[in-house]
Amino acid sequence: MKPYTIEEHENGLLIFTITRESKRNSINYEVMDGLVEAIELAKLPHVKILIITGEGEKAFCSGGDLSVFHELKTEEQAYTMLSRMSKILYELLMLPKPTVALMNGMALGGGCELATACDFRIARKDIKVGFVQGKLAITTGWGGGTILLEKLPSSTALEILMESSIYTAEELQNLGFIHYIYEGDPLYAMLTFIKNKQMIEGSVLRAYKEIAVRKWNQSNIRERIETEVRKCSILWESEAHHKQVDLFINRK
């Protein structure tokens, strides 16, 4: 069974769900394939808004699947994986349609990068969110740091990245990362959040998104993401990183 679902709802909604609840919706290579599939489907004219979420209540996404990716030891091995996912997040960022991260549970590491690549983030009130890569002795490596610096004031983004702390949804709303906080049913919350946007013509939504895309292109975002991937690959090879991942893998 695939570790994701892609559902088309009425009124042009496409919902991508990572269905690895028992692994806290961490991202492995198959989930990457699923994201590619969803982004391609979202390009179809009848799709108006792409929603990305996770199964269950515990996690939106706990980042890269450390049980798979801890096998990547060298800079080049890490680069291949990081580069692949960075291209996916770049495509998600550039998708000429509104995208929403429906953060139904915690988001850590790469899970935050996935959310950052979406245009809007809505989060359940009691979740925890952290760009914890620093604690694993790496930086963001999927382009999420570069994208965060586009979306928040640079001093705020740098603080979030450098501290590698875990935040509450409310703290991140105050910092401008989260747009809307909900309690209760995630689907209802998402429909409430997108209601006004959904009433706008798709061509208008697309035209606005293209303005944002042009801005990002003018700032050479693709090249800057590539630099992030390269730098993270170098750090990935370090003993400090492998030690931290081993601690997580062997924690029980």
Ligand X SMILES: CC[C@@H](C(=O)O)C(=O)SCCNC(=O)CCNC(=O)[C@H](O)C(C)(C)COP(=O)(O)OP(=O)(O)OC[C@H]1O[C@@H](n2cnc3c(N)ncnc32)[C@H](O)[C@@H]1OP(=O)(O)O
Residues within the interface to ligand X (CB under 6 A): 23-24, 26, 58-59, 62-67, 69, 106, 108-110, 113, 132-133, 136, 140-142, 248
Number of Cβ within a 10 Å radius of residue 44: 11
Residue labelled with tokens 């969803």: 38
Spatial CB neighbours of 159, under 8 Å, sequence gap ≥ 6: none
Kindly state the smallest distance separating residue 54's Cβ from ligand X, in Å.
11
> Which pair of tokens denotes residue 29?
């290579």
Nearer to ligand X, 207 or 247 (CB): 247
Nearer to ligand X, 13 or 93 (CB): 93
Nearer to ligand X, 98 or 143 (CB): 143
Kindly state the smallest distance separating residue 16's Cβ from ligand X, in Å.
18
Kindly state the smallest distance separating residue 79's Cβ from ligand X, in Å.
12
> Which pair of tokens denotes residue 128?
């925890």
Output the CA torsion 50→152→59→11 (10° steps). Answer: -20
CA distances from 214 to 209, 210, 226 (A): 9, 6, 18
Residue 121: phi and psi, rounded to 5, are -130, 120
Nearer to ligand X, 140 or 173 (CB): 140
Nearer to ligand X, 15 or 18 (CB): 18
Spatial CB neighbours of 77, under 8 Å, sequence gap ≥ 6: none
Kindly state the smallest distance separating residue 67's Cβ from ligand X, in Å.
5
Nearer to ligand X, 26 or 173 (CB): 26
Kindly state the smallest distance separating residue 155's Cβ from ligand X, in Å.
21
Contact between 137 and 240 under an 8 Å Cβ cutoff? The reply is yes
Determine the residue type at 192.
Answer: T
Kindly state the smallest distance separating residue 117's Cβ from ligand X, in Å.
12
Nearer to ligand X, 128 or 206 (CB): 128
- What are 158-167's contacts with CB under 8 Å, separation 24+? 160/131, 161/131, 161/133, 161/134, 162/134, 163/134, 164/130, 164/131, 164/132, 164/133, 164/134, 164/135, 165/130, 166/108, 166/128, 166/129, 166/130, 166/132, 167/128, 167/129, 167/130
Kindly state the smallest distance separating residue 150's Cβ from ligand X, in Å.
17
